[in-house]
Amino acid sequence: MSNTFVSDDNETIRKSVGTPAVFAEVYDRHAPAVFRYAIGRVGHSHADDIMSETFLVAFNRRASFDLSVVDARPWLFGIATTLIRKHARVEARAWKGLVADGAAAVPFDAIAAVGTRIDAEIAVKEIAAALRKMPARDRDALLLYAWSDLDYAGVAEALGIPMGTVRSRLNRARHTLRRASHRASRPEQEVDHGRTDVVAETA
């Protein structure tokens, strides 16, 4: 993961406490990434609001930023994630409306394995439904890791949890998505007397 910053974020934020206009450098540096993350979570129509509010909160809290931390991204993505939690219904609608053309927004590569548009739509709907129903703590960890370019340590910092907890949440989330993908890719289902049964696999 690259950390190609013009200057360290902590130094910029330190200067911005006395000279507020300097904080614009943090915005210029990280707004595009926060915006992309917000698009994936709440859709285009609300992403700008999430991004703007994230930087407003960050600006208001800049004096409390831990100056021992060089990279402000975990802090910013943590703020954005907290704001998105307040827009849970908006996020749920965004996932519900996901279609095959938006498959790239799903942080799981199983969709690439399906062969037709109909199959792709089924896979996307299954995975989107799984994300929508996933516990918020697991979904936050998964999407931060998938879309924010943070490593495990960065996700832990963003969410204020131990790195071991991040690993556990990501493992649960990935298992949930694998099950959703498996359901979408199993054509070998038979309907018997109104009941759908999966045909038993032979060893």
Residue where the block lists tokens 């998964």: 142
* Domain final position from 55, 74, 96: 96
When pLDDT is averaged across residues 148-172 and rounded to a whole number, the result is 94
Instruction: Tell me: do 86 and 105 sit in the same domain.
Output: no
When pLDDT is averaged across residues 130-148 and rounded to a whole number, the result is 88
* Domain final position from 80, 96, 112: 96
The pLDDT value recorded for residue 2 is: 45
Instruction: Tell me: do 73 and 130 sit in the same domain.
Output: no
The pLDDT value recorded for residue 96 is: 66
When pLDDT is averaged across residues 12-33 and rounded to a whole number, the result is 96
Kindly state whether residue 203 falls inside one of the protein's structural domains.
no
When pLDDT is averaged across residues 43-60 and rounded to a whole number, the result is 92
- Pair of tokens at residue 143: 């999407």
Domain residues for 125? 98-187
> How far apart, in whole angstroms, are the C-alpha atoms of residue 41 and residue 1?
22
Number of folded domains that form the chain: 2
When pLDDT is averaged across residues 109-130 and rounded to a whole number, the result is 61
* 155 pLDDT more than 90: yes
> How far apart, in whole angstroms, are the C-alpha atoms of residue 123 and residue 117?
10
Residue where the block lists tokens 């799984």: 130
Prediction pTM value: 0.74
> How far apart, in whole angstroms, are the C-alpha atoms of residue 108 and residue 125?
13
* Domain final position from 28, 61, 96: 96
